[in-house]
Amino acid sequence: QSALTQPASVSGSPGQSITISCSGSSSDVGGSDHVSWYQQHPGKAPKLMIYEVIKRPSGVSDRFSGSKSGNTASLAISGLQVEDEADYYCCSHARNDFWVFGGGTRLTVL
Amino acid sequence: EVQLVESGGGLVQPGGSLRLSCAASGFTLNDCSMNWVRQAPGKGLEWLAHIWTTSGTTHYAESMKGRLTISGDNAKNSVYLQVNSLRDEDTAVYFCVRDRDWAFDHWGQGTQVTVSS
């Protein structure tokens, strides 16, 4: 069982906005500024989309944004596009295990 | 251009061992830390091990402690992962991942490890 809890799936139509949650504890998400999000298309390596909760790497669309409240982090995607369809994983630095991932969320763009 | 190229995967019998290698280019290991992350078929990402290549300090996933050894060779700009006492459930793609600014900013394409008799 993953240390961080994500919904198994979310869906939206092109142009809509969605949010993916990532719930942890005070030992990881709640106690760390080192929360990141990754996008993975089938058969590909993951790609960094958000780091340090809210920061976007160069080249990542500003349609992607991150936030955190208490022990829950969130990834928001606005103006959904077909190419956003992928698996998304959150990750947090943790007091016990050094890094922990969420179980992943499959985003379907209908 | 940053590149990470893993090698050393393959078919191994239960109880066996493997040493995975990761050749880095486009940066020097001294500038960051390195990790290994795996993904079992149809499953999510699982962090395994981390090394501060400058100091040699390491961290391991509790679930894998005792079976993993991560190491680095700054002269070869390479990182390694020794995995012992392999089990069926260790079957996965193993990714080498660069860690800069406390995020996994570059990933290799992965090397497949299959544990089967």
Q: How far from B75 is each of B6, B62, B79, CA to CA, in Å?
A: 17, 30, 11
pLDDT exceeds 80 at position A106: yes
Which residue numbers of B have CB closer than 8 Å to A's CBs? 35, 37, 44-47, 50, 59-62, 95, 101-105, 107-110
State the pLDDT at residue B115: 97
Give the nearest chain B residue to A103 (CA atoms). B44
- Cβ A22 vs Cβ A74: under 8 Å: yes
Q: For A45-85, how does the pLDDT look when each residue is reduced to its tens digit (9 = 90+)?
A: 999 999 999 999 999 999 999 999 999 999 999 999 999 99
> Chain B interface, mutation test: which of A98, A100, A106, most B Cβ atoms within 10 Å?
A98
Percentage of chain A lying above the pLDDT 70 cut: 98
Contact call for B47 and A99, based on CB within 8 A: yes
pLDDT exceeds 60 at position B86: yes
Contact call for B103 and A52, based on CB within 8 A: yes
State the pLDDT at residue A2: 62
The single-letter DSSP state of residue B75 is T
Which pair of tokens denotes residue B53? 């290549």
What integer is the mean pLDDT of B15-21? 97
Q: For B95-110, how does the pLDDT look when each residue is reduced to its tens digit (9 = 90+)?
A: 999 998 899 999 999 9
pLDDT exceeds 80 at position A31: yes
Residue A106 contacts B, CB cutoff 8 Å:
no
Q: How far from A37 is each of A15, A79, A96, B15, B74, CA to CA, in Å?
A: 21, 18, 20, 34, 29
Q: How many CB atoms lie within 10 A of CB B97?
A: 27
Chain A nearest-CA distance from B93, in A, is 10
